[in-house]
Amino acid sequence: MALEWKREELRVEKEIGEPILVVEDVMKAFGGVQALNGVSFEVRKGEILSLIGPNGAGKSVVLNCINGLPGYRPDSGRIIFEGRDITKWPPHKRAQVGISRTFQKIELFGGMTVLDNAKLGRHIKMKTGWWDGGIYWLKASKEEAKHRKWIEEKVFETCEIEIYRHRTAGMLPYGVQKRIELARALAMGPTFLLLDEPMAGLNLEEVEDMTRFILDANEEKEWQCTILLVEHDMGVVMDISDRVVVFDWGEKIADGVPEEVQNNPRVIRAYLGEVEETYITRR
């Protein structure tokens, strides 16, 4: 039996390079719960790798370990990014080498404007600190204006949120807030993008738009981000992924191209249990 997904030709011809991220035998427990049990996989430069699995499989835990969130340092194992062991690096240092992310639950500053939220993602590129800015305010003002122009012309155009730039983020519809999350992540100018359930809570039209934005972030010359995607929408996953890794109970059970994964018996059992004639279809 196979999991039936409709595969659309959304992707373009592109060059996949050597591994940019290597997760090597990572273990992570919370109390008596083993969230990750010796997980290993790699993400190659230029690809979209989707990480899927049932709820509680450990997908977001992996993203948090890669991102370096407090409390998510692996108990053992290593995380290698561009040949450097970043396992013990703080989050800001990982951001400095090009790792950016969005969150499963929207983490915007609701009382700030869309532009100000995006500018927070860009601050890592600012060379003028608070001390220099206080003394040489004109220099700081010019630098800030340059980055603001770049955000408005590049980031907002990609995510199609130009008309919301001066609106308060927390007052906008949920689907727009999801776009702002992606915009803030892109404002960093990342080379590696972690996306945690970007389709969650979106309607069909919003899912189609978000899919296009993600493909642009991966394929457009302006961005060319390598992407690690955690997502439950199997239609999206099978449509846009170059490879798919499947987790179940903190362990990797499959790794391959979408066609291989959707026919893997272990994947079918993880999603459906021991049944004979059940299908997962794109909602």
Q: What is the mean pLDDT of the chain?
A: 87
pLDDT tops 50 at residue 277 = no
217: left (phi over 0), alpha (psi -120 to 50) or beta: alpha
pLDDT at position 47: 96
**What residues does CATH 3.40.50.300 cover in the chain?**
1-98+190-283
Catalogue the long-range contacts made by 217-225 (C-beta closer than 8 Å, 24 or more residues apart).
Answer: 217/158, 217/182, 217/186, 217/193, 218/46, 218/48, 219/11, 219/12, 219/14, 220/158, 222/154, 222/158, 223/158, 223/186, 224/46, 224/191, 225/186, 225/190, 225/191, 225/192, 225/193
According to CATH, what is the number of the domain 1-98+190-283?
A: 3.40.50.300
pLDDT at position 278: 41
pLDDT tops 70 at residue 264 = yes
**Model confidence pLDDT, tens digit, residues 206-220:** 999 999 999 999 999
pLDDT at position 221: 87
Q: pLDDT confidence of 159, banded at 50, 70, 90?
A: very high
pLDDT tops 90 at residue 147 = no
pLDDT at position 274: 54
